Amino acid sequence: MRHRIGIVLAVIMTGVLFFPGAWGYLRLLRLPAPADQLSGLPAGGGSLISEHHVLLALAAVAGTALLAGILVAAPRISPLAAGLPGLLLLGWTGLYLANVRQGVDLIPLRSDPFGAGFETMLFNGVLGAAGLAMIVPMFIPARWRTRPLTGIADDVFAELEDQPTTQLTPIRVTTLAPIPAAPWHDASPPDVP
């Protein structure tokens, strides 16, 4: 069941990477600059905080990276969630390296900002780098196994219960007789010099 959910998360990650991620990447590369500014820097070298389009594009790229980071790092999520999109990105980059025209022709919606942004990420090598980072969980054997939902203390006690004991007689719990009160408990405490 965990791996089926991982496949669904992989489809979601691919969609997030293609739509908001590619759109935001393209918008960050083509920063709007007023025509009267001669400086090649965005916003004339000033603050980009007032540029709402830049902040929205940055939020789209950061959200895509955050989702990818969660899918890569979270141990309870199947490695397929990040690994399948990573393999797709690596395969697409390999196809682009082998045959540029075919790699570019397979990009859907190339006339839209989504496809153009994806094409730009492919040209710049961002897709290959992201793909390499996203396949890392697939090589960690512990990520393929389901972990129990118990805590660490429960695991330790369960492990101790499975160990054979060398004790032959059961331990008896006995109650002790109450200790009589000291004589000074009834009165005031003795004076200590």
Tokens of 75: 């141990």
Select from 1, 2, 5, 13 the least CA-distant residue to 87. 13
Determine the 3-state secondary structure of 42 from DSSP: helix
Q: Tell me the CA end-to-end span of the chain in Å, nearest whole number.
A: 75
| pLDDT, position 144 | 78
| pLDDT, position 38 | 47
How much is the pTM?
A: 0.65
Tokens of 167: 């004790």
| pLDDT, position 70 | 93
Q: Mean pLDDT of residues grouped by 10 in the chain (193 residues)?
A: 88 91 84 53 67 84 93 89 92 90 86 86 90 91 71 57 60 65 59 64
| pLDDT, position 161 | 60
Decide if 22 contacts 63 (C-beta within 8 A): no
Cβ contacts of 40 within 8 Å, gap of 6 or more: none
| pLDDT, position 53 | 78
| pLDDT, position 85 | 94
What's the number of CA atoms in the CB half-sphere (13 Å) around residue 98? Answer: 7
| pLDDT, position 63 | 94
